[in-house]
Amino acid sequence: MSTPFYYRLSNGFRITVRPAFLVDQSTPAERQYVFAYFVRIENVGVRPAQLLSRRWHIHDAAGEDTEVVGDGVVGEQPIIVPGGVHEYQSFCVLKGPRGYMEGEYFFGVDGGERFACDVPRFVLVAED
Other beta carbons less than 10 A from residue 122's beta carbon: 21
Q: Which pTM does this prediction carry?
A: 0.93
For residue 1, tell me if it sits in a domain.
Answer: no
The residue ranges of the chain whose pLDDT is under 50 are none
Q: What is the CATH number of the domain that holds 48?
A: 2.60.40.1470
Q: Which amino acid is at 5?
A: F
Angle at the Cα of 35 (from 22 to 97), degrees rounded to 5? 90
Number of domains in the chain: 1
The answer as to whether 74 is a domain residue is: yes
Amino acid at 117: C
Residue 3 pLDDT: 72
φ/ψ of residue 40, rounded to 5 = -125, 120
Residue 75 backbone class (left: φ over 0; alpha: ψ -120 to 50; beta: rest): left
Q: State the pLDDT at residue 128.
A: 61
- Structural domain of 34: 6-125
Q: For residue range 58-92, what is the model confidence (pLDDT) as tens digits?
A: 999 999 999 999 999 999 999 999 999 999 999 99
